[in-house]
Structure 1
Amino acid sequence: MGLNDHGNEELRLAYDDLVDEGLIDPASDEAGVARQVIDQGFDSMSPRQKHIYESRFEPVLVRRAKQLEVQRIIDSNPD
């Protein structure tokens, strides 16, 4: 495994979750740039692709991560 493989695997799992939950359309531009980051790294993208990733994919990714963290906290609290 390379240096970024672990991070890319985490991003791939998060991407798959977003698609499975219907939060990202796999045919959308944001899904395409996310797959490019997973496969080729962030530096492989053009400025336009980086903008799409940062403005359209990352916000969904961050929102979902926050939702999962809240659910984890709720689930870990005793009744």
Structure 2
Amino acid sequence: MLDEGMPEEGTSAYGIAQQVIHTGYDSLNPKQHTLYDAVVIPALTKRGEELKDIQIINSNPD
């Protein structure tokens, strides 16, 4: 998701997502937890749904 520019590089959400990747969710402070839960998790959920739809479309015969 980060490779696709979500969240946008240079934003707080991007930095927090990087922190979770490298040091885990438990390394976040309460303010960072709130931002991660409000911005990153919904973006991950949306992207997961998009990928699921693409997989379904690609698995159906023409």
TM-score with structure 1 length normalisation?
Answer: 0.72
TM-score with structure 2 length normalisation?
Answer: 0.90
**Aligned AA (1:24):** P
- Per-residue Cα deviation, 1:13-67 (whole angstroms, up to 9, x for no partner): xxxxx23333321111111111111111111110000001000111011100100
Using the aligned pairs only, state the percent identity: 39
Distance 1:38 1:65, change over 3 A: same
Q: Tell me the SS of whatever aligns to 2:41.
A: helix
- List, as ranges, runs of 4+ consecutive aligned residues in structure 1 with deviation greater than 2 Å: 18-23
Alpha-carbon RMSD across the aligned residues, in angstroms, is 1.1
Measure, in 1, the Cα distance between the counterparts of 2:2 and 2:21: 14
What corresponds to 2:2 in structure 1?
Answer: 19
Which structure 2 segments of 5+ residues have no match?
none
Aligned length in residues: 62
What corresponds to 2:22 in structure 1?
Answer: 39
Which structure 1 segments of 5+ residues have no match?
1-17
Q: Is 1:65 paired with 2:34?
A: no
**Aligned AA (1:68):** L
Q: Is 1:49 paired with 2:32?
A: yes
